[in-house]
Amino acid sequence: MSLIVLVWNYLKSRPLNTALNIVLLGLGTAVVTILIVISHQLRERIDTNARGIDLVVGAKGSPMQLILCNIFHIDFPTGNIKLHEADRIAANRLVKQAIPMALGDSYRGYRIVGTTAAYAAHYGGELAQGTWWSAPMEVTIGSAVAQALDLSMNATFHSNHGLSNDGHAHEAHPFIVKGIMAPTQTVLDNLILTSVESIWHVHDLHSADSAGSVPSRLVPSVSAADSSREITSLLVQYRSAMGAIQLPRIINGQTALQAASPAFETARLFSILGLGVDILEGFAAVLILISALSIFIALYNSLKERRYDIAIMRSMGASRMRVFVTLLLEGVLLTFLGCCFGLLLGHGVLFLMETFMDAAGKSGFTGLTVYPEEGIILAGSLLLGSVCALIPAWQAYRADISQVLSRQ
């Protein structure tokens, strides 16, 4: 016999009420847990995807769109820029590395990116099978693409114009899969990589003879003087901190191009997302508050029924303090169970979402990681339990046992 057994039996003797309280608190806790897990993993993902890219240079438009499209591959391109203008920026002495990006086509929802080997290298992409693309129309695909579209080595496919499935197909120019990358947990997993030339080729822009002239810095197969070629954007890494001060000003002020900073735009994105998170947090807070109230009412009501139990316990030698602790423990045990249920529910929901969603719908969040904030939730729930139980416990502490026992 111990207090825990007693308290547990008290909770068991009111199964519906106990279940209601556990579910109420569990729902609130689950929402908070999901928020914590998602915001952690979203931040991690945004950080890994934007890491090492100091500036994105593209056509004028929304800077956030530029970032979303060229780094996270979720929005549409802002337009095209001239290759020779991009070349000029790449040649700036403040630029350490510049990676060209040619976007706009896709295959069954997965984006085709015309770029250079430096892009895959930047994200630590490694081959699982085959080789990197070399000739035009050769592609190396991300691990998630290979899995979801069931594309194997040397498979061929026709790309679609645009980033959705309803764009017209580029029937005349099939791509061939030359390699499949190992998973990287970055955007690379969901991309189809090819050369910039392939993108031009699909759009029937055959290279003019560039023999004899200086080759382009970004795409060496064409002449630096060629003014017809276009790409979507340029991912820039600064040589020094000076780049951060000067380059955006030069680009935004002196050229027809736009420069956007991933760090600044993602911070802005978070502050916009923050509003949604705030609303959800408020919702969770209301749920938790209601459950706290419900636990308080349950304990308070059960105390009325248990006045005699408490008097008997005192007559058997229990001190006031022990009676006080018994009720406190009941509140704490209840919130502890509710909180554990909520943590499991939160992680379980994320896990099931990830397991049963089809590949294209995968959010990439895993329910299997536990974060330190969840310890704070647990500690907070125990505190909440003691607070809810405080008034009933105090009443039990003060009860006049003789009066209770002599009432017929």
Partner 1 sequence: MIQVRDLKFRYREGNTLSFPDFSVERGRACLLLGNSGSGKTTLLHIIGGLLAIQSGSVVVNGRELKTLRGPVLDRFRGENIGFIFQRNHLISALTVRQNLLMAPYLAGLEVDSQRVDIILEQLNIADLADKSVHRISQGQMQRVAIARALINKPALILADEPTSALDDENCERVIRLLLDVSAQNECTLLVATHDQRLKSVIETHVPIIHV
Please report, as ranges, the residues that interact with partner 1 according to CB under 8 A: 1-2, 5-6, 9-10, 12-13, 308-309, 312-322, 401-402, 405-406, 408
Distance CA 122, CA 203 (A): 27
- The distance of closest approach from Cβ of residue 314 to partner 1 in the complex, given in angstroms and rounded to an integer, is 7
Nearest partner of 40 among 377, 364, 404, judged by Cα: 364
Cβ atoms of 139 and 175 closer than 8 Å: yes
- The distance of closest approach from Cβ of residue 336 to partner 1 in the complex, given in angstroms and rounded to an integer, is 19
In the DSSP assignment, the letter for residue 169 is: E
> Residues near 318 by Cβ (< 8 Å), separated by ≥ 6?
none
Task: Take residue 220 and report the two structure tokens written for it.
Answer: 């060496």
- The distance of closest approach from Cβ of residue 302 to partner 1 in the complex, given in angstroms and rounded to an integer, is 10
Cβ atoms of 260 and 56 closer than 8 Å: yes
- The distance of closest approach from Cβ of residue 22 to partner 1 in the complex, given in angstroms and rounded to an integer, is 17
Which one, 182 or 404, has the nearer CB to partner 1? 404
- The distance of closest approach from Cβ of residue 356 to partner 1 in the complex, given in angstroms and rounded to an integer, is 41
Cβ atoms of 293 and 367 closer than 8 Å: no
Nearest partner of 86 among 337, 258, 279, 265, judged by Cα: 258
Task: Take residue 113 and report the two structure tokens written for it.
Answer: 């990116």
Residue recorded with tokens 């002495």: 93
Which one, 152 or 315, has the nearer CB to partner 1? 315
| Terminal alpha carbon distance of the chain | 30
- The distance of closest approach from Cβ of residue 390 to partner 1 in the complex, given in angstroms and rounded to an integer, is 21
Which one, 66 or 313, has the nearer CB to partner 1? 313
Could you tell me which residues are beta bridge partners of residue 260? 56
Task: Take residue 326 and report the two structure tokens written for it.
Answer: 């018994």
Which one, 10 or 123, has the nearer CB to partner 1? 10
Greatest Cα-to-Cα distance within the chain, rounded to the nearest angstrom: 113
Distance CA 349, CA 34 (A): 8
Which one, 6 or 117, has the nearer CB to partner 1? 6
- The distance of closest approach from Cβ of residue 321 to partner 1 in the complex, given in angstroms and rounded to an integer, is 7
* Helix (H) or strand (E) segment spanning residue 48: helix 15-50
- The distance of closest approach from Cβ of residue 306 to partner 1 in the complex, given in angstroms and rounded to an integer, is 8
- The distance of closest approach from Cβ of residue 330 to partner 1 in the complex, given in angstroms and rounded to an integer, is 11
Which one, 308 or 394, has the nearer CB to partner 1? 308
Which one, 165 or 402, has the nearer CB to partner 1? 402
Buried b (16+ CB within 10 A) or exposed e, 331-366: bbbbbbbbbbbbbbbbbebbeeebeeeeeeeeeebe
Could you tell me which residues are beta bridge partners of residue 130? 179
Which one, 178 or 314, has the nearer CB to partner 1? 314
Which one, 13 or 213, has the nearer CB to partner 1? 13
Distance CA 73, CA 79 (A): 14
Torsion angles phi and psi, residue 241, rounded to 5 = -60, -25
- The distance of closest approach from Cβ of residue 387 to partner 1 in the complex, given in angstroms and rounded to an integer, is 24
Distance CA 361, CA 377 (A): 30
Distance CA 59, CA 52 (A): 21
Which one, 156 or 319, has the nearer CB to partner 1? 319
Cβ atoms of 194 and 209 closer than 8 Å: no
Which one, 9 or 355, has the nearer CB to partner 1? 9
- The distance of closest approach from Cβ of residue 328 to partner 1 in the complex, given in angstroms and rounded to an integer, is 16
Dihedral sign for Cα 175, 179, 182, 187, please.
negative
